[in-house]
Amino acid sequence: MILRVGSLLGVLFALSILVFLVSHFGGGDPVHAYLGANASPDAVAAMRSKLGLDQSLVAQYWRYLTRLVHGDLGISLSTKRPVSAELRTRIPATLELAVATVVLSVIIGLMLARVYALKGRFAGVIRFVLLSAASAPAFLLATAGVLIFFAHLGWLPVSGRTSYGASSGLTGMYVVDGLLTGNLPYTVDALKHLVLPALAAAIGPGVALARVLADGLGKSLESGYARTARSLGETEPQVLRRHALRNAASPALSLLGVQLGMMLSSLVVVEQIFSWNGLGQFLVSAINGSDTNSVATVSLVLGAVYVLVNTLVDVGLAAIDPRVRLA
């Protein structure tokens, strides 16, 4: 565990260097983004000195890292607000969408795993359709969802997180706040707004998860220990639950950790399409406004989440698969 923690900290440190260098050499002038294109040379020079941009690259990184460790994320050059304040309002929105996406991915994977295990020509056609849907980019799936469920059927909304205004709850996640306050109409409305963006980001990872899970279940059910369990009188559901599912869960869990990167990139696009006021929308706005400080901070947060979740996936694999612990 100590080695895992040390490795995690090392990756985060390397990530901070990479994000800093990309933001520093990525183009755009943060000073003019903050002051405006018509700022006087004296004002530009003073702001460069205030932001520490007149120092050496090593000094700038050390200043950036020191402030980061102390929780000082600086000022957003586009909104003129502290980046920490922007994150406090936007992280719950992205977190709610990300959790819903993961849950839907797992549900889709479990439901479609049986479809992938079917034999015959018709099953092959279904698998081809599912694979085509999984290969489609998130913006195309989101657009199709808007056309079908909003424009044609009128079942689901396509903009914002709720029709009732911002939540006054503690978590900032509207569905959770609605449940905690017992406000059923608010909860249902928040769920309706959540379905389409989460589904658009979950279809690809869900179908990929189904393929891996179906392959693992097929091999596990035909293995020697499964035949032994049947000979000892266990029913097929018991064999599936006690033996096959646990062994098939290991590669599926590994894939889910890898798919998280795809989910995070999809959420950036999905938040733009559905006007979801989260980190993805803030990141795009910061890029358009040459707000390098905000871009670096959001990129670091998303990268840290990806690294942390993959570390937790490794721990989970070790918990369910003794071979991983031995390795």
Over the stretch 138-170, which tens digit does the pLDDT of each residue have? 778 888 888 888 888 888 888 888 888 777 677
Rounded to an integer, what distance in angstroms lies between the CA atom of residue 264 and that of residue 176? 21
pTM of the predicted model as reported, rounded to 2 decimal places: 0.77
- Is residue 19 in some structural domain? yes
C-alpha torsion 155→160→162→168, nearest 10:
170
Do 31 and 121 share a domain, yes or no? no
Note whether 20 and 102 are same-domain residues: no
- Short-list 82, 94, 20, CA closest to 53: 20
Give the pLDDT of residue 105.
86
Q: For residue 242, name the pLDDT band (cuts at 50, 70, 90).
A: low
**Looking at this protein, which amino acid is placed at residue 310?**
N
Give a yes or no: residue 62 inside a domain. Answer: yes
Does 229 lie in the same domain as 150? Answer: yes
Percentage of residues in the chain with pLDDT exceeding 70? 76
| Distance of alpha carbon 250 from alpha carbon 217, whole angstroms | 11
Mean pLDDT, to the nearest integer, of 288-317? 78
- Based on the domain organization, do 154 and 218 belong to the same domain? yes
Structure tokens at 84: 């920490």
Higher pLDDT, 280 or 37: 280
**Residue 325's pLDDT is what?**
55
What is the rounded distance in angstroms from the CA atom of residue 14 to the CA atom of residue 316? 24
The verdict on 33 and 141 lying in the same domain is no
Q: Which residues are CB-contacts of 281 (< 8 A; sequence separation ≥ 6)?
A: 90, 271, 272, 275
Q: What is the pLDDT of residue 326?
A: 47
Q: Are 28 and 286 in contact (CB under 8 A)?
A: no
d(CA 86, CA 84): 5
Tally of structural domains, the chain: 2
Examine the domain organization and report whether 207 and 150 are in the same domain.
yes
Residues 119 and 33 in one domain: no
Domain with 139 in it: 90-274
Q: Determine contact, residues 267/305, Cβ cutoff 8 Å.
A: no
